[in-house]
A and B are shown apart, each in its own frame.
Chain A
């Protein structure tokens, strides 16, 4: 596809959790918990409030359609009254501000003179307060990873939302973890460039060594538009490998919606706002959903026949879009005549429905079944979305589904969702402060240095540069551990142990470092490292593990073992001469079980063999 031709413009927003000691607006640890560890819960309602300019944000208004929603929150011994929205926030965590500004400096941005914390209205329950605290900390930077580079519009420091456990149930452990939100300019012209930029920024953030790692700790939102289409924001792309596919599918969706628009205009289609109560028609239906519904309402989309059922991206139709809008009223979904008869609705019922609503063959009839109140609300939403089809692509916030298609979440929020956070004082960023911020070395530079200056194998250099234990690698090397030993231990050995089911995550940096230093001090052989790590992961101290697995071996003890091995095989030795060294190495190594370094054994064997021969 010629992306220039279709006028593709894409940008991304990256949300990265910061690995600070405390949360952004309280002094709780940034620790994720298991829901089984909760020690309390409470229930709250949320509702949309006006901005200080007196408007209600359109995205919030839409959330309010779901009435009487009460949210439940789990609390922990690592959360406090701030997460509970029962205490004003603490001042912004200076560690997080410093880290966000460091990231800004790495992307050649300019800090704002004074950071003001805002409340971004979010009433889907994921924030106990009904808003997410966010602040714009720096503007206008650039990164070099694609031809011409990509502009970075802004970096915001925000608080992470609560984790949805299920439905309207949320867990408060995640709420308030600092989050850096990096927004690029719409400078990406192909799906591949979107992926490259996302990967580059991810690398850049990890270079600080102070960001959270693991699933869900970094999330990408993608902003896409094509010529004639509209800006659409796709939220929550967690898998970098899917990001280009998401872009491709959104292009396809926008193109199909434009096709539908043109077709509707050509057909002189229209939306009829006449609502039919068809509950009676379906009183003996074979459809379980329709049969149990208190109220079934129908509307006609004149001239829409065949278009509501048209696929606009894999697994998605115009009907799915209308259904998403309807679901905001709490209904389960809708039926449309493009897909009927099906789902227990008979052909005869479809004919009766068309007759009752005076629908022409060219029309599409839409059905919603629920309580009367909900069904009426849903019909309103469906009519609204049907009207939008005449202008092509609505501006929307969408969420990614598996495989890369998307569903509608809410309208793109506007400036009205921002309200000043009155409980937090602004933070001045002085020139001196900014000047003194040190830029960390990029992972890509580290990779090069590890290979070129430390002599690591290029693949290993790359692996250790991107590894979670990379900071430990650098500390170990600075303390005298040989780069190769450190890299192999921290990357290869840990990975192998993990594959064998060892709980490597529980191994502390301090313990691993102590083991590597013991090897360097010849207190343990490097061959014993896996067994030592295994023992420590099960709760042994490093000292006792070394004592058990690799007690230091005296020279006499070693030479006794070596002599014994040679004497037992004296005929073989006489026959092979120095060539016996290889086979005997294995035997002695096995005997010493990693207590002595291979090199030392080899020396001892050589000496002993020379004596015998």
Chain B
């Protein structure tokens, strides 16, 4: 039996008409004409040969060429997801056009050029796709777009935003947007996030940012710097938070007024440039009490390792020897903190000093994931270890600050 075939279900003394959907745990799933799905034994079904359901015709999206030009680059994710009858779960199989269909208001704001370099759930993101994404963005900038919206699953959106921040030097806004509640539900946050992203993409911003719900209400989105943002909740709409800095601005909804902080990089301040080399032999390790030194040694041969240490930036003393062996062999080891908030300082306690002595670099106020992406990128650009170390401590894309702001 094939998906979409019309069937007659003889069960419980009744005859019910429906459409065959799929098989689940040995049962046939059919969609009854009432709209309900039920699972029944295959033996209760008969195909109705003559009845064929008409396939829905995809609607064409009319665009207004007079509006400013924006680019939508879709990588998949919940903002453009729909049910997969193979597993019954939500999956990404949409094209960028579908986003215009899902968020009809977009076509009144801009004229969109769409690209689909990938359709993946974001947990399946790879550095190779980052490279493709960066090149696609770079090409769009060169073709004269006013701004870019990257639709992305939320799980690894912050990693990708950081990666693009380093790989693409941009004169126009590059806005990452997604949704926490799938696009196929009436309450999805995709409409507001999508609309606010478009407004941000047309704004005066000149950097890579993530634009998502700022609160649980449908009231405004926050604009987060791509190298300072983290997903801090598994499911809430306002999961994304700026870490160690204030958000770059807000986009009010439904007015779509954009307010940016004075400190942001403005549109046109930078020229377009692509640096798409990444060193993929880099690891990220979350230290835990009782960690065996072998866990650290397992990264031997890697070009770089970021450790998310405890507190001010520590591993246990027992691990320090393994760290020393790594750095001696040429691995660049960067220390960040599991606290996420605040700055690493390995000069306060003995363990920290011993770690410095073992060759680690303090990751300052960088998020562990950002330090990880940055290290891949820096190692992709620079072979000299001392220069790599210096670059890791230098602010390149707003990922670290000289001062840690108070009041956050």
Contacts and interface: CB of A to CB of B under 8 A. Distances in A.
A128 interface: yes
B184 interface: yes
Contacts of B34: 136, 415, 418
A42 interface: yes
Contact of B216 (A52, A84, A129, A428): A84
B187 interface: yes
B217 interface: yes
B184 A419 contact: yes
A54 B53 CA distance: 12
A118 interface: yes
Nearest to B35: A418
B407 interface: no
Nearest to A419: B184
B38 interface: yes
B358 interface: no
Given A139-B11, A422-B89, A116 B38 contact: yes
Interface stretch (A43-51, A90-98, A230-238, A361-369): A43-51
A414 interface: yes
B100 interface: no
B68 to A, nearest CB: 24
A32 interface: no
Nearest to A141: B12
Nearest to A50: B184
Contact of B12 (A52, A109, A418): A109
A410 interface: no
B107 to A, nearest CB: 15
Interface string A495-529: 00000000000000000000000000000000000
A77 B27 CA distance: 40
Interface string B167-194: 0000000000000111111111001100
A84 B189 CA distance: 13
B41 to A, nearest CB: 6
Nearest to A110: B12
Interface in A1-56: 42-55
A27 to B, nearest CB: 15
A575 interface: no
Interface in B96-148: 102
Given A415-B34, A428-B25, A43 B218 contact: yes
A119 B83 CA distance: 12
A110 B11 contact: yes
Given A121-B186, A414-B35, A420-B88, A86 B237 contact: yes
A131 B186 contact: yes
Contacts of B82: 52
Given A52-B83, A130-B186, A422-B89, A139 B12 contact: yes
Interface string A379-409: 0000000000000000000000000000000
B186 A113 contact: no
Nearest to A117: B37
Contacts of B215: 42
Contact of B218 (A44, A139, A156, A426): A44
B56 A54 contact: yes
B12 A420 contact: no
Interface string A51-76: 11111000010000000101000000
Contacts of A415: 31, 33-35
A334 interface: no
A48 B104 CA distance: 12
A119 B185 CA distance: 9
A64 to B, nearest CB: 10
Nearest to B33: A415
Given A52-B83, A113-B38, A113-B41, A44 B14 contact: no
A60 B25 CA distance: 33
B193 to A, nearest CB: 12
Contact of A422 (B31, B83, B187, B219): B83
Contacts of B219: 43
A114 B181 contact: no
B37 A116 contact: yes
Interface in B23-46: 24-25, 27, 29, 31-41
B191 A113 contact: no
Interface size class of B (residues with CB under 8 A): 35 or more
A88 B235 CA distance: 7
A270 interface: no
B185 A130 contact: yes
A87 B188 CA distance: 12
Given A44-B218, A81-B236, A118-B37, A139 B14 contact: yes
Interface string A102-139: 00000001101111101111010000111100111011
B184 A116 contact: no
Contact of B217 (A42, A46, A53, A115): A42
Nearest to B87: A422
Contact of B25 (A50, A84, A114, A419): A114
Contacts of B236: 81, 86-87
B13 interface: yes
Interface in B349-408: none
B24 A129 contact: no
A145 B31 CA distance: 32
B8 interface: no
Given A420-B83, A422-B90, A136 B216 contact: no
**Interface-centre pick from B11, B27, B36, B191 (highest chain A CB count, 10 A):** B36
B268 interface: no
Contacts of B254: 68
Contacts of B83: 52, 419-420, 422
B186 A123 contact: yes
A361 B212 CA distance: 60
Given A44-B218, A113-B41, A428-B27, A85 B187 contact: yes
Candidate in B82, B184, B186, B192 with the most chain A CB atoms within 10 angstroms: B186
Contact of B38 (A47, A53, A136): A136
B322 to A, nearest CB: 40
Interface in A404-463: 414-420, 422, 426, 428
Given A68-B254, A110-B12, A426-B24, A118 B187 contact: no
A140 interface: yes
A113 B254 CA distance: 46
A122 B36 CA distance: 15
B25 A426 contact: yes
B90 A48 contact: no
A456 to B, nearest CB: 39
B13 A140 contact: yes
B14 A140 contact: yes
Interface centre among A49, A110, A136 (most CB of B within 10 A): A49
B215 to A, nearest CB: 8
B191 A426 contact: no
A419 B185 CA distance: 9
Given A53-B56, A87-B235, A118 B35 contact: yes
Contacts of A426: 24-25, 29, 39, 88
B201 to A, nearest CB: 21
Interface in A573-605: none
A426 B12 CA distance: 20
A517 B185 CA distance: 55
B106 to A, nearest CB: 13
Top 10 nearest A-B pairs (CB, nearest first) are A114-B39, A130-B186, A418-B35, A54-B56, A110-B12, A415-B35, A116-B37, A136-B36, A112-B38, A140-B12
23 contacts: A42-B217, A44-B187, A46-B186, A46-B187, A47-B191, A49-B102, A54-B58, A68-B254, A81-B235, A85-B181, A86-B216, A86-B237, A110-B11, A114-B27, A114-B40, A116-B29, A118-B35, A131-B185, A136-B32, A136-B38, A420-B37, A426-B29, A428-B39
Given A43-B219, A52-B83, A415-B33, 4 more contacts: A47-B191, A86-B236, A116-B38, A123-B186
